[in-house]
């Protein structure tokens, strides 16, 4: 069944970096962008109007792609998300409906691991607080107690610090590799792939409870799923050392943010570095007023090169879906074997 002449086959929810658009253009594929202003997303209505007529939806992590929306996509050959995390997409519903979902893994691993370290160091050494003090002209004289933070390397205590990594996938492993330069002891937890941790030199597997109790720094690298929602709540924060710092560059709802505010205010833990929030872009009441947090606006993968490559990967998935081919990076590859997918392909592309 062909599309109405004026319907672009690819609908992109928001402006993506030029390399992705260029790839679509050079393949002769028309695409429409629903929202081109950088500081806002398309309305739910605009996405709802666009999906029934398009063949590929190229989404960002800011747009919910739920079952109801997917069900309206009678012409959809795939959803291509420009992000590695796809928690905004109902992947189970997509699979049931025969719709492949693409993402952009790997290319952003180093950039996100670097940002994780930037947050960890900034929180430990009070960098934003010291910067604000300096630019306000408050620096009068060097002092032995001026912004004394916490060591990340053994430092003055001579004791190697313990880094606890929750979720030992691509980014978790990249964060662990960087710890060697700080002579840290690295412990990690992941429920299913314990062998991966045990076969990594210099990294020790622990239970989550042990990790929380032992670590000076706890860094989260799990996807957001039902299992990881509020993985870190009251019990877990109370288990951490009062001197420990929590870093979250995974997804906001992995941490119970309201409880985290209490933990930081009441000294259950020493500090936090956050790139992501439970109700993004909003923050839990009180979070931004705390003196012991470093807060970033979800910029884990934000380097120019990496964002360009992510856009290209998303465009490559979109082009493959348009042709009825397997996307190079599909989060639900089992969909390709389903009757729902084969029937969808047959109905839309005619066999
Ligand atoms: P990945 O390679 O799939 O790694 C995720 C790891 O989490 C897997 O090894 C998985 O282990 C583990 N895991 C799953 N459930 C867990 C649980 N309950 N407890 C502990 N570990 C668990 O993904 P990635 O590429 O590293 O990305 C991780 C996440 O980072 C993404 O899903 C995304 O949400 C986030 N992210 C954020 C930014 C940012 O801008 N801040 C940038 C990129 C990614 P098993 O194999 O045992 O299941
Ligand atoms: C960013 O948060 C991603 O999941 O790619």
What pLDDT, on the 0 to 100 scale, is given for residue 30? 96
Position 63 pLDDT exceeds 80? yes
- 109-295 and 10-106+303-349 share a CATH fold: yes
Ligand 1 centroid, distance to 249 Cα (angstroms):
10
Q: Name the DSSP class of 42.
A: P
Position 7 pLDDT exceeds 90? no
- pLDDT tens track for 215-225: 999 999 999 99
Ligand 1 centroid, distance to 55 Cα (angstroms):
29
Q: Which ligand is nearest to the CA of 298?
A: 1
Residue 1 pLDDT grade (very low, low, confident, very high; cuts 50, 70, 90): very low
- Count of positions (residues) in the chain: 351
- pLDDT tens track for 101-151: 999 999 999 999 999 999 999 999 999 999 999 999 999 999 999 999 999
Residue boundaries of the structural domains of the chain? 10-106+303-349, 109-295
What pLDDT, on the 0 to 100 scale, is given for residue 8? 85
pTM, entire model? 0.97
Q: Topology of domain 10-106+303-349, per CATH? A: Rossmann fold (3.40.50)
Given 177, 204, 230, 298, the catalytic residue: 298
CA distance 27 to 322: 11
- pLDDT tens track for 250-290: 999 999 999 999 999 999 999 999 999 999 999 999 999 99
Strand order in the sheet with 78-81: 31-35, 10-14, 56-59, 78-81, 101-102
Q: Which ligand is nearest to the CA of 113?
A: 1
Q: What is the architecture, at CATH level 2, of domain 109-295?
A: 3-Layer(aba) Sandwich (3.40)
For residue 166, what is the enclosing H or E element?
Answer: strand 162-166
- pLDDT tens track for 317-338: 999 999 999 999 999 999 999 9
- pLDDT tens track for 220-240: 999 999 999 999 999 999 999
Alpha carbon distances (Å) from 126 to 106, 180, 205: 30, 22, 30
């Amino acid at each position: 069944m062909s599309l109405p002449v004026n319907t672009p086959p690819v609908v992109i929810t928001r402006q993506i970096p030029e390399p992705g658009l260029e790839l679509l253009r050079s393949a002769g594929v028309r695409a429409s962008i629903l929202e081109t202003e950088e500081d806002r997303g398309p309305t739910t209505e605009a996405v709802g109007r666009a999906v029934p007529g398009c063949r590929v939806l190229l989404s960002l992590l800011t747009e919910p792609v739920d079952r109801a929306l997917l069900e309206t996509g009678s012409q959809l050959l795939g959803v291509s998300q420009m992000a590695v995390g796809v928690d905004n997409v109902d992947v189970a519903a997509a699979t049931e409906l025969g719709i492949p979902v693409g993402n952009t893994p790997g290319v952003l691993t180093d950039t996100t691991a670097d940002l994780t370290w930037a947050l960890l160091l900034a929180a430990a050494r009070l960098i934003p607080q010291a910067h604000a003090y300096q630019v306000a002209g408050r620096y009068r004289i060097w002092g032995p107690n001026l912004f004394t933070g916490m060591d990340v390397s053994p430092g003055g205590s001579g004791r190697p610090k313990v880094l606890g990594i929750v979720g030992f996938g691509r980014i978790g492993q990249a964060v662990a590799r960087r710890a060697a330069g700080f002579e840290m002891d690295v412990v990690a937890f992941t429920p299913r792939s314990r062998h991966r941790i045990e076969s990594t030199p210099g990294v020790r597997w622990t239970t989550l409870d042990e990790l929380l109790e032992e670590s000076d720094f706890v860094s989260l690298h799990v996807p957001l799923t039902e299992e990881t929602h509020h993985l870190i709540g009251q019990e877990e924060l109370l288990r951490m050392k009062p001197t420990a710092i929590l870093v979250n560059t995974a997804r906001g709802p992995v941490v119970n943010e309201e409880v985290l505010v209490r933990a930081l205010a009441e000294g259950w833990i020493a500090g936090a570095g956050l790139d992501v929030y439970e109700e993004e872009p909003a923050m839990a009441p009180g979070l931004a007023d705390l003196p012991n947090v470093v807060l970033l606006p979800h910029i884990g993968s934000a380097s120019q090169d990496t964002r360009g490559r992510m856009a290209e990967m998303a465009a490559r998935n979109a082009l493959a879906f348009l042709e009825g081919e397997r996307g190079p990076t599909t989060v639900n590859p089992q969909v390709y074997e389903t009757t729902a997918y084969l029937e969808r392909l047959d109905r839309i592309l005619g066999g």
